[in-house]
Structure 1
Amino acid sequence: MGTHPTRTAVTLCAAAALAIPLGTASAAPSAERTGHHHARDPVLVDCFWSPEVRPGAFLLACGDGNSHLVSLNWSRWGSQSAMARGVNVVNDCKPYCAVGTFRSYAVTVRLDQPRTWEKDPDRQQFTRMSLTYHDGRPEGYPRTVTYPLWS
């Protein structure tokens, strides 16, 4: 790592955080951008404050990129909830995040609790996400994890 291991580690984490959302945005354009949704459907707001409907990928850890969802296959996207199956890719951060290993876990994703989006009061946004792990989960995680989503 050279003579400045801390600086190198921080730089690598920052590069990873930037690369993940940029790669997924171009690889899986959201229905919001392509127009395949109902105007009344709530949106999922990503790290860059972009509204998305049925995204193929979603970054959970905006600050460091150490947890993201990929291969999202939405079975439902309605006015009160949305449901998908996909994969949660999580950095185990062992021995520390810059050299950790990204591990994949099958999950069911549920979005709910739509509320008015502060950035656009004419829209609703989902404000809660629950992940239920199937065959295995990250160390220390319960079978179901619920996150409040930013507004």
Structure 2
Amino acid sequence: MRVHRATAALMVCAGVALATATAPVSASAVSDPPSGQRVAVVDCAGKALERPGSFILACGDGNNVLKSLRWSHWTSPSAAAVGMDMVNDCRPYCAAGHFHGYPVRVRFDNPQPRSGHSGQQHYTRVTLTYPADRPTNTPRVVTTRLWS
């Protein structure tokens, strides 16, 4: 019985992660601009977005999501926002874990040409800065590469 419950919980979480990854967010899709001046961030589904209201950092399982993003700027060199980093504590395991929110400053930068999308640039790096509380064993500033 316990295995069935754990399997069911895992399937529900996987479904929620998939639905979140494919659900529209408060962002605009970006087409290939003729001038090549616009920069996007690429989500888990491969869609280029500008100023998304939320952004999944853990595409495989959806256990880390940036929410309530408010953008102060979105330019060719970088984009900056404040919001909440929602992180699953995965205790005792991820399907049974709980999400905790941490205020965070977000910076996308290091734009590069997007392969297969003529004239489109995409941010390739994200930096998260936690001004107060942060997830366990997480440094105050975390910088990581984004997928393309």
Same fold (TM over 0.5): yes
Report the equivalent of 1:144.
Answer: 141
Q: Which residue of 2 aligns with 1:4?
A: 4
CA contact (8 A) 1:81 1:111 kept: yes
The answer as to whether partners of 1:16 and 1:64 remain within 8 angstroms in 2 is no
Q: Percent identity between the aligned chains?
A: 44
Match of 1:54 in 2: 51
CA distance in 2, matches of 1:12, 1:62: 16
Residue 46 of structure 1, CA deviation: 0.3
Matches within 5 A, 1:74-113: 74-113=71-110
Moved over 6 A (4+): none
Label 1:124 to 1:102 Cα distance change in 2 as closer, same or farther (>3 A). same
- What CA distance in whole angstroms lies between the structure 1 residues aligned with 2:116 and 2:55? 19
Tell me the TM-score normalised to structure 1 length.
0.87
What corresponds to 2:20 in structure 1? 20
Provide TM-score, normalisation by structure 2: 0.89
Question: What is the one-letter code of the residue matched to 1:63?
Answer: G
CA contact (8 A) 2:111 2:122 kept: yes
What amino acid does structure 1 have at the position aligned with 2:110? Q
Alignment size in residue pairs: 145
Tell me, yes or no, if structure 1 residue 63 matches structure 2 residue 57. no
Change beyond 3 A, Cα 1:2–1:112: same
- C-alpha deviation, 1:147, in angstroms: 1.5
Gaps of 5+ in 1: none
Alignment CA distance shift 1:3-1:145 (3 Å): closer
Aligned equivalents of 2:19, 2:136: Cα separation in 1: 25
Q: Does 1:45 pair with 2:42?
A: yes
- Which digits, 9 at most, give the CA deviation of each residue in 1:88-121, with x for residues without a partner? 1000001111111100000000011000001313
CA–CA distance in 2 between the matches of 1:125 and 1:32? Answer: 13
